[in-house]
Structure 1
Amino acid sequence: MELRYKYRFNFFRFVNEVLLLTVCFILAFYILTRVYHRNFILLNVWMLPLLVIGWYFSSRSTKTSDDLNSKSLTANLYKTANSIFIQACLVILFFFTSHQTYNSKSFLFFYVLFLSILIPLEKLFYKRLMVFLQKKGMNKKRILVIGGGKTGMEFSNIIDGNMHLGYEIIGFLDDEQKPYLNGKYLGTVDKIDEMMESHSVEFDEVVVALPNRAHNKIKHIASVVGRNTVKLRIIPAYHELINSQYNVSIFNGFPMITLRHEPLDEIHLRSIKRVFDIVFSSLVLVLVCSWLFPLIALAIKLSSPGPVFFIQERWGKKNEKIKCFKFRSMKMMSKDVDENSGKYQQAKKNDPRITRVGAFLRKSNLDEFPQFVNVLIGNMSVVGPRPHPTPLNLESKEVIDNYLVRHLVKPGITGWAQVNGFRGETSDPSLMMARVNYDIWYIENWSLLLDVKIIFLTFWKTLVGDKHAF
């Protein structure tokens, strides 16, 4: 899709979703005032612009119109659920700041209910419409693939499995006639010259899926195709290393591909996160910890001998060693490292080292509250990958791929992996791998709204309970 049409299409989709959002708002308003005869004051109409702005920023990352980089309907619905969750948070925030408690729960329920019905239906309708139009041959683009190897076939499978994209592969050029091309073999790579001159086969785009060693052939193809009104795309042979957050830049004439885009590389975004950390941790320390800490300290002292706080060496940003503060939840003289195996002993269910008060503190996450001091000092953040003790880091980095990537940012009191169920013991390498993958996703997709969402989910899981907390 051409860039100008892509922008127009994205604008059309956004306007369409804003109209649906407005309909949901009006329906919720109507039900409260006409059906339940509730008093819904006119001031609340000013909530609508706030919700529209929130929807704009929360839905910008969906990229549903990216051609050749399709997202499944399930992935789009998941991102839609995230946007609806943020809408719910904004409604709660509006009612809280305007000091309203009446009717807020009823409005929130109906508004989120209608959003959860209409927005997914809109996306489902759009996808079905695109498939229908493509089957009718409308706006379909024909692709010639040069290279019938592993990369070319993987690309072909993606196109065949996503008809709504509007692409059709008309054939392959390859120096070997491979039987699995299913009758779509059109000749050797050199035949591209003849096809471009004679126009014997009609196609709109050429996708090159050749290995790096075919550099001269790729250069020749680019020259031939460039002289015609045909779009050329090249799949790099190292495409497996590139994820959806890659970045392309020009460095003194050399194209550079950055495999991992990290928003917090930008100093202004780091500053925003730091200001949020300072404000949030200061409020928690003053409003909550000022009276909660003495109570917890007294309970710890009465339950078992030993200090109130437990200070442990953990790894922070760029593997820097930091002193991580916690309330002591284990008995004195508990061993971190198993004397027989020499491995770090993670806390597990019914761990005999944990005291009765400690079990409650760990279950409710209260043992982590002293880390708000770490946040204020600056070696931790409210949200980020959880910091692990030094022995666990030394063990994990040898067996888990990309383990140290999680140390590109400051560690957090809570994180994306934790709210998705990956907290507690990770003795199984697959569990640690899943935690690392969630942490890397957070690093690559960071936003202030995502941090707020994680804080909300952490609070919610604390209220309803987490089976992995022990």
Structure 2
Amino acid sequence: MIIDYITINCLFIFGKLYFFEFDHRDFAQEFRTQLAIINISWFVITLIIKPYKSLKVKESSLHFNALSKAFVLFVLASAIFPSLIFSLKINYRNVFIYFLLLGFFITFTRFLLFLYRKKNRVKLGRKFYSFDTVLIGENKLSTSLISNSHLRRSIGIRGTYTPLSKETKNKYLGGIDQLFYDLENTKINNIIFCDDNIEVDIYKKIVDIAEHKMIRIYMVPDFKYVNLGPNYFDVINDIPFIKLIREPLSNPKKQILKRSFDIAFSLFAIIFLLSWLIPLVALIVKIESNEFVFFIQKRSGLNNVPFNCLKFRSMKSNRNADLQIAKKNDVRITKFGAFMRKTSIDELPQFINVFLGDMSVVGPRPHMLSQTEMYSKITKKYMTRHIVKPGITGWAQVMGSRGEIFSVKDMEKRIEKDIWYIQNWSFFLDMKIIFLTLYNIVKGDDQAY
């Protein structure tokens, strides 16, 4: 936050990028007014959007999401709002230069921050995490809470006290007597009740002490199957539900955002890339193998509905095309096809699929129907990946899970990453995946063959 304010003010002062065209006799007064406006605007906007909240633990794509919202509002407030108050002409050229530089510097400082955080994650965790939340009793959900190290750090769970002084496996802190002692002698900010069998008198005594010491109290519901899979709370009409999978894309507004981006991005790729690339590739494929430029294959789409997936032809026609995926040194791959597969050029026609609505730019990769039929029978949660549209690129691909499948374990790792993406989707996670995809193409991927 401090760096942001320094950047905002230094660019304004030392760059002499003034918003308004004004009489130089009133220079000092107008300059101070402009400086006050941009600082107040940023303060109010960040107060509402909260881009600095949980910065030590927040996933980078979520932070950039909040930062972008704040920055857009800041641009509007700084460039438009003053013109409604002052009868001055805005110098939009200077405004554009100012915000272009500002956007670059605040983004660059974030990249440095997240690189530092990634490198020093353990050291920072020990320094910043405050373990001031305790659990009382046990149930299935409390076991899930405390066994998840990331969640435990985020909430700051210290451990568990049990009413019957029965030692638990979940960071046992002691019995109720130890709890009363710790309430008086240690720092505890939050208490989470996880046992509805606790005696009423003991419960009331704990609550009385906690309220007196301004300790917040929470309760978690008990459901015996809650720890058998991923889950999160959803509130519908003020009634809490435990949902087995989090789906950000079940929100209609987010669906519209993702689809709008898909249309814009695919249309850009079709007009400026495929319009000249298709004739060029078609000519080379025709010369090399005398075959049609496109390879069209049925693949599993949204809700497991098959669709015609487009690719540039990189193999000779063969009977096993719908049954056998490409292997290293596969004799079916042509020389030009090997180049296209190495650089992922063969996947580019799928932007047509994206534009038509069969695919998304980012999502789980679509598998052949034979793969879906086979792995759905032997791999847990395999079909869950079909609750969203398949993508040209995906989280599994940029995290090293692409190409040939050597064992069921390889597929399970891929499915885990696909489900993680579904549960953690955000617009900026998609941007991150696109950036990593381009980075991997430039760097080179050993699994691309």
Do both share a fold (TM > 0.5)?
yes
Q: Report the alpha carbon displacement of residue 290 of structure 1 after superposing the two structures with TM.
A: 1.0
C-alpha distance in 1 between matches for 2:240 and 2:367: 37
Is 1:326 the counterpart of 2:311? The answer is yes
Q: Is the 8 A contact 1:346 1:427 kept in 2?
A: no
User: Does the 8 Å contact 1:146/1:206 carry over to 2?
Assistant: no
Change (3 A) 1:22 1:290: same
Secondary structure (helix, strand or coil) at the match of 2:315 reads coil
Q: Which runs of 5+ in 2 are unaligned?
A: 21-33, 76-92
Number of residues of Structure 1 aligned to a counterpart in Structure 2: 391
Q: What pairs up with 1:289-438 in 2 under 5 angstroms?
A: 289-336=274-321, 344-438=323-417
In 1, the alpha carbon distance for the partners of 2:144 and 2:426 equals: 36
CA separation of 1:446 and 1:61: change in aligned 2, threshold 3 A: farther
What amino acid is aligned across from residue 277 of structure 1 in structure 2? Answer: D
The aligned residue for residue 222 of structure 2 is: 236
d(CA) in 2 for partners of 1:149, 1:257: 13
Offset from partner CA, 1:105-156 (integer Å, 9 cap, x none): 999997666445567889999967756xx7xxxxx95746224999569739
Following superposition, the deviation at residue 373 of structure 1 comes to 1.6
Name the structure 2 match of 1:13.
Answer: none
Instruction: Give 1:280's match in structure 2, choosing from 261, 265, 268.
Output: 265
C-alpha distance in 2 between matches for 1:179 and 1:320:
45
379-388 or 233-242, which moves further after superposition? 233-242
Q: Per the alignment, do residues 446 and 44 of structure 1 end up closer, same or farther by CA in structure 2, a change over 3 Å counting?
A: farther
1:285: Cα distance to partner? 1.0
- Asked if 1:262 corresponds to 2:254, the answer is no
Deviations 1:155-192 (A, max 9, x none): 39969x85x967655842137567998782348xxxx9
Q: 1:20 maps to which residue?
A: 3
> Which amino acid is the alignment partner of residue 393 of structure 1?
T
How big is the shift at 1:207? 3.3
Q: Give the corresponding residue for 1:145.
A: 136
- Which string of whole-angstrom CA distances, capped at 9 and with x for unpartnered residues, describes residues 423-461 of structure 1? 211223333222222222222222223223322332232
Q: Is the contact made by 1:144 and 1:171 (CA closer than 8 Å) also made in structure 2?
A: yes
Equivalent-residue separation in structure 1 for 2:169 and 2:295 (angstroms): 65
Given the alignment of the two structures, is residue 246 of structure 1 paired with residue 232 of structure 2, yes or no?
A: yes
Code of the aligned partner of 2:60: K
Q: Alpha-carbon deviations, 1:287-314, whole Å to 9, x = none?
A: 1111110000011111113222111111
Q: Is the 8 A contact 1:142 1:170 kept in 2?
A: no
SS of the aligned residue for 2:397 comes to: helix
Alpha-carbon offset, residue 374 of structure 1: 1.2
Closer, same or farther: CA 350–146 of 1 in aligned 2, 3 Å: same
One-letter amino acid of the counterpart of residue 339, structure 2: F
- Does the 8 A contact of 2:61 with 2:426 survive in 1? no
Contact 1:146 1:152 in 2 (8 A): no
Shift of 1:336: 3.5
1:268 Cα deviation after fit? 2.2
Residue pair 1:317, 1:410 contacting (<8 A) in 2 also: yes
In 2, distance between residues paired with 1:401 and 1:183? Answer: 36
Pair 1:208–1:290, CA change in 2 (3 A): same
Output the amino acid matched with 1:23. Answer: I
Q: What is the percent sequence identity of the aligned residues? A: 32
1:172 and 2:162 equivalent? yes
Distance 1:150 1:258 in 2: 13
Structure 1 unaligned spans of 5+: 1-15, 34-39, 66-72, 135-139, 338-343
Displacement of 1:345: 2.4
Aligned match of 2:86: none
Deviation at 1:358, TM superposition (A): 0.8
Query: Contact 1:205–1:233 at 8 Å: present in 2 too?
Result: no
- Cα 1:432–1:25 shift into 2, 3 Å: farther
SS in structure 2 of the partner of residue 42 of structure 1? coil
Q: 1:60 to 1:444 in 2, by over 3 A?
A: farther
Question: How far off its partner does 1:271 sit?
Answer: 1.8
Does the 8 A contact of 1:248 with 1:257 survive in 2? yes
**Structure 1 vs Structure 2 CA RMSD:** 5.1
Q: Over residues 4-28 of structure 1, what are the superposed CA-to-partner deviations in whole Å (9 max), with x where a residue is unaligned?
A: xxxxxxxxxxxx3xx3234356778
Q: Distance in 2 between matches of 1:44 and 1:430?
A: 59
Letter in 2 for 1:247: F
2-structure distance, mates of 1:459, 1:157 = 32
Cα deviations by residue, 1:320-362 (Å, 9 ceiling, x for unpaired): 011111111111225247xxxxxx4221221111111111111
Measured after TM superposition, the shift of residue 209 of structure 1 is: 3.5
Shift of 1:43: 8.2
Change (3 A) 1:234 1:63: farther
Superimposed CA distance per residue, residues 24-65 of structure 1 (whole angstroms, 9 cap, x where no aligned partner) = 5677899xx8xxxxxx7838999xx8xx79x979x9699639
Q: 1:464 maps to what in 2? A: 443
Where 1:184 maps in the other structure, the secondary structure is strand
Equivalent residues of 1:148, 1:178 under 8 A apart: no
User: Does structure 1 residue 79 correspond to structure 2 residue 60?
Assistant: yes
Asked if 1 retains the 8 angstrom alpha-carbon contact of 2:233 and 2:240, the reply is no
Give the whole-Å Cα distance in 2 for the aligned partners of 1:314 and 1:185: 57
AA aligned to 2:448 is A
Contact kept, 8 Å, 2:161 with 2:172, in 1: the verdict is: no
Higher relative contact order (CA 8 A, sep 6+): 2
